[in-house]
C-alpha cells in the first residue's frame, strides 16, 4: 500500500481524499496557493507545501511545482483529484517518469479518450453505440454545414477537446449554423487550445446517464452501475442520482456491458466514467442510448455511487495504484437503496447565478435524519473561511440516501432547506425548488428542465411571516401590546432590516428576556440577518409629520434640544442606546421642536413618540 500521498488539488476533493487516506494510515501532503494558505485541506493534511500565486495557472496547473513539492516532502504517489491536471496525460507521464505512483489511468488511456472525435471512432470499433454525427478531419465551415444538414437539425456542435459545458452549441436551423460554429470555435480555442469540432445529432429530450467503471492492472474491469446527471444548467450538472430513474434490469445490463467494453478497449486502470446520452422522450431502451465521452478520472458525483454500493472509490483508487487487484468482483456488487447529490454553490440565482464571494460568517448544514445517519456533506470550507474569486465557487456537495427515490429526494430537500450560509449567497433554495419540481418528483427529467423552468426556480425566496415574527420577538422580547381593534387581537408593528431590505414585522407579547442586537433567520436554505432599523435621519417619521419615534426599545442617553427650540434639517436631536449601540436621531426638516417627551436616562419602547418637529410658517 502507498505510504505517502501528495494531493495535487484543493477544496472539497482534496479533503475527500485526505479522509480516506487517513483511515488507511497514509501520510498526506497538501499543496496550496496564496489564496488557500488557510484552507481546510491545508489544515487537514499532515504536511502542506506552497506552490505559487492564487491564479490556478500559476499554481495548481503548474506540474513542475507539484513535482517539486513531491520531491521536497518525499511523497510516494500523487493523486490529481478532478479538474486541474487530472486528465493531463503529459503530467501523468511526468509523474511516472519521476519514479512516483500516478493514482489514475495510464497516460495512453487518457490520450485515447481525450479527444471526443477519436474516442467515438474507437468506441464504434469496440461495439459501443455512438450518437449519429460527423467526426471527420475536414473543418471547413461549408463542409461542416453540409454534414449538419445530412444529420438533420437540431444538431450539437462540440469541441473535440471540450469539457465542462465549454465549446458546445445547440443549433436548430441551417441559418444559425455558421454563427454558432464560429462562436464555438473561438471558445474552444480559448479554453482548450484546439478549435476542432464534431457535430452530432441533438436528442430532443436528452438524458445524461453515466456508468462508473473501474479497472486494475491485472486485467479486471467492473462497473458500479449507473448515475443520472440529467438535471443540468447550461451543460453543468446540478443534481445527480443513482440509480437512474426508469432504468429496468435489461437496459441496465446492456448499458453497463457497453461501458465495460469501452473501458477494456483502452486497457483502463483506475476509476473512470463512461458518459452516455439517452433519448428521454419515452421509456429507456438500450437501442436509444449512445456513447458520448469518457472521463478518465474520479467524478464530482462519485459519492452517490459510493452510497448505493457501500464502496469507497478513493480507497479502490489507492489500492489499484498500489498494484492490488480490485477488492470486489462484478458478482459481489449490488445496488442498495437510492442516493442523490446536490452541488451547493456560492452564487446568486436571482442575479444570473453570478458567483458570490466573501467570508462565510455563517455556515451550517442540515442534519441527516434516519437511515442510520446515511448521507453526508463533502466540503472544502469551514465557518469563517473565505470564498475566493480564483476557483470554482462550490461550497459543498450535499448527499442524501434513502430506501427509495422519494425518500432520498425528500431527505436531500430537507437537508438543503435546513442549511444556512451568510452573507455569501448560495443556490440552496434553487436546489430545493428543483428537487420539488413536479417533473423531477416524477423522475421525468431531461437536460432542458432547468432551462424551461429557470424563471421560477431562480426566484429569490423571502422568509415567512411566522419566522420573521419569531425573530422580531427575540429582538424585542418585551412588547407592551396596546390598542383596541374591534373583533381582533391588538397588534403592534416595527421596522427592521432584513440584510439591507427595510421590512415591517408584527410584534407579539414576548416571554421576557434580554434583547439581542441581531438575529439570523434561516428558511428554505437561505439565511438573512434581521436587525432593528437604525435610521440615520427620519426615524419613524411619517411623510412630512415630523414625528420622531423610537425605532426599538432602548434608553435615551442624551437630549440635545429643548422644547420650542429652532432646529435645522439633519440636526442632532437625541441619542438612543439599544443593542449595546448608540443611534442618533436627527431632525427630518427645519422647524421648531413642538413636542419633547423624554429626558436623558429614560427607558423607551419601540415606536414611542420621542419628539415632534413642526415646520416654521412661511
Other CB atoms within 10 A of residue 95 CB: 25
Q: Which residue has the cell 458567483?
A: 355
Q: Quote the CA–CA distance of 308 and 311 in Å, as a whole number.
A: 8
Report residue 332 as a C-alpha cell. 459481489
Q: Quote the CA–CA distance of 377 and 367 in Å, as a whole number.
A: 9
**522 HSE (CA, 13 A, CB side):** 20
Q: Quote the CA–CA distance of 244 and 247 in Å, as a whole number.
A: 6
What residues are paired with 168 via a beta bridge?
Answer: 158
CB-based contacts of 463: which residues, under 8 Å, 6+ apart? 498, 521, 523, 524, 526, 528
Backbone angles phi, psi at 41, to 5 degrees: -65, -30
Cis preceding linkage at 26, omega within 30 = no
Rg (CA), the chain: 30
DSSP string, 557-569: EEE---TT-EE-T
Asked if 23 is an active-site residue, the reply is: no
Single out the residue of 366, 457, 380 nearest to residue 11, CA to CA. 380
CA 520 to chain CA centroid, Å, is 22
| Pairing, β 362-364 against β 206-215 | unpaired
Cβ-defined contacts of 413-418 (< 8 Å, 24+): 414/366, 414/369, 415/365, 415/366, 415/367, 415/368, 415/375, 416/342, 416/344, 416/366, 416/525, 417/366, 417/523, 417/524, 417/525, 418/365, 418/366, 418/367, 418/522, 418/525
Other CB atoms within 10 A of residue 539 CB: 24
Contact 29, 41 (CB under 8 A): no
Report residue 61 as a C-alpha cell. 496547473
Instruction: Give the three-state DSSP class for 113.
Output: helix
Q: Which entry of 227, 297, 411, 529 is annotated as an active-site residue?
A: 297
DSSP string, 282-323: SS--GGGEEEEEEE-S--TTHHHHHHHH---HHHHHHHHHTT
Catalytic positions, please?
297
Amino acid at each position: 500500500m502507498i505510504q505517502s500521498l501528495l494531493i495535487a488539488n484543493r477544496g472539497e476533493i482534496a479533503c475527500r481524499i485526505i479522509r480516506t487516506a487517513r483511515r488507511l494510515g497514509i501520510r498526506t501532503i497538501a499543496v496550496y496557493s496564496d489564496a488557500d494558505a488557510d484552507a481546510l485541506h491545508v489544515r487537514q493534511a499532515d504536511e502542506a507545501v506552497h506552490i505559487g500565486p492564487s491564479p490556478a495557472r500559476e499554481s495548481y496547473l503548474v506540474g513542475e511545482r507539484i513535482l517539486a513539492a513531491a520531491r521536497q516532502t518525499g511523497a510516494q504517489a500523487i493523486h490529481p483529484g478532478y479538474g486541474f491536471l487530472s486528465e493531463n496525460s503529459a503530467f501523468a507521464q511526468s509523474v511516472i517518469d519521476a519514479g512516483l505512483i500516478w493514482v489514475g489511468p495510464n497516460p495512453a488511456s487518457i490520450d485515447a479518450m481525450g479527444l471526443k472525435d477519436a474516442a467515438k471512432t474507437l468506441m464504434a470499433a469496440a461495439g459501443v453505440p455512438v450518437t449519429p454525427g460527423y467526426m471527420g478531419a475536414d473543418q471547413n465551415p461549408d463542409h461542416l454545414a453540409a454534414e449538419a444538414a445530412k444529420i438533420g437539425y437540431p444538431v450539437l456542435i462540440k469541441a473535440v477537446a471540450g469539457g465542462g459545458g465549454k465549446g458546445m452549441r445547440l443549433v436548430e436551423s441551417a441559418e444559425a449554423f455558421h454563427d454558432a460554429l464560429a462562436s464555438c470555435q473561438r471558445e474552444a480555442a480559448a479554453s482548450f487550445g484546439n478549435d476542432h469540432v464534431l457535430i452530432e445529432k441533438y436528442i430532443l429530450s436528452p438524458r445524461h446517464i453515466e456508468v462508473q467503471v473501474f479497472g486494475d492492472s491485472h486485467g479486471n474491469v467492473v462497473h458500479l452501475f449507473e448515475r443520472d446527471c440529467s438535471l443540468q444548467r447550461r451543460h453543468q450538472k446540478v443534481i445527480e442520482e443513482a440509480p437512474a430513474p426508469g432504468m429496468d434490469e435489461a437496459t441496465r445490463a446492456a448499458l453497463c456491458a457497453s461501458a465495460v467494453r469501452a473501458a477494456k478497449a483502452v486497457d483502463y486502470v483506475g476509476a473512470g466514467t463512461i458518459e452516455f446520452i439517452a433519448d428521454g422522450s419515452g421509456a429507456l431502451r438500450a437501442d436509444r442510448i449512445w456513447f458520448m465521452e469518457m472521463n478518465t478520472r474520479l467524478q464530482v458525483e462519485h459519492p452517490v455511487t459510493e452510497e448505493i454500493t457501500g464502496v469507497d472509490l478513493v480507497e479502490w483508487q489507492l489500492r489499484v495504484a498500489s498494484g492490488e487487484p480490485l477488492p470486489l468482483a462484478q458478482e459481489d456488487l449490488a445496488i442498495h437503496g437510492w442516493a442523490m447529490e446536490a452541488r451547493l454553490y456560492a452564487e446568486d440565482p436571482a442575479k444570473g447565478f453570478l458567483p458570490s464571494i466573501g467570508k462565510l460568517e455563517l455556515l451550517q448544514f442540515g442534519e441527516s435524519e434516519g437511515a442510520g445517519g446515511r448521507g453526508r456533506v463533502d466540503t472544502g470550507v469551514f465557518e469563517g473561511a473565505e470564498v475566493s474569486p480564483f476557483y470554482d465557487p462550490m461550497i459543498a456537495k450535499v448527499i442524501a440516501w434513502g430506501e427509495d427515490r422519494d425518500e432520498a429526494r425528500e431527505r436531500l430537500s430537507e437537508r438543503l432547506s435546513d442549511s444556512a450560509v451568510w452573507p455569501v449567497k448560495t443556490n440552496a433554495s434553487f436546489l430545493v425548488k428543483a428537487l420539488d419540481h413536479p417533473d423531477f418528483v416524477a423522475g421525468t427529467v431531461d437536460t432542458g428542465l432547468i432551462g424551461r423552468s429557470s424563471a421560477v426556480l431562480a426566484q429569490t425566496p423571502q422568509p415567512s411571516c411566522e419566522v420573521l415574527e419569531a425573530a422580531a420577538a427575540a429582538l424585542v422580547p418585551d412588547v407592551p401590546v396596546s390598542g383596541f381593534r374591534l373583533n381582533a387581537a391588538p397588534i403592534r408593528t416595527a421596522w427592521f432590516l432584513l440584510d439591507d431590505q427595510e421590512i415591517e414585522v408584527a410584534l407579539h407579547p414576548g416571554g421576557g428576556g434580554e434583547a439581542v442586537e441581531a438575529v439570523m433567520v434561516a428558511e428554505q436554505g437561505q439565511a438573512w440577518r434581521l436587525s432593528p432599523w437604525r435610521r440615520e435621519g427620519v426615524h419613524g417619521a411619517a411623510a412630512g409629520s415630523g414625528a420622531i419615534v423610537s425605532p426599538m426599545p432602548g434608553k435615551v442617553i442624551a437630549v440635545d434640544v429643548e422644547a420650542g427650540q429652532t432646529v435645522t434639517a439633519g440636526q442632532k436631536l437625541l441619542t438612543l442606546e439599544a443593542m449595546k449601540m448608540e443611534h442618533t436621531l436627527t431632525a427630518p426638516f427645519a422647524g421648531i421642536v413642538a413636542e419633547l417627551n423624554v429626558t436623558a436616562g429614560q427607558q423607551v419602547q419601540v415606536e414611542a413618540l420621542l419628539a415632534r418637529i413642526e415646520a416654521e410658517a412661511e
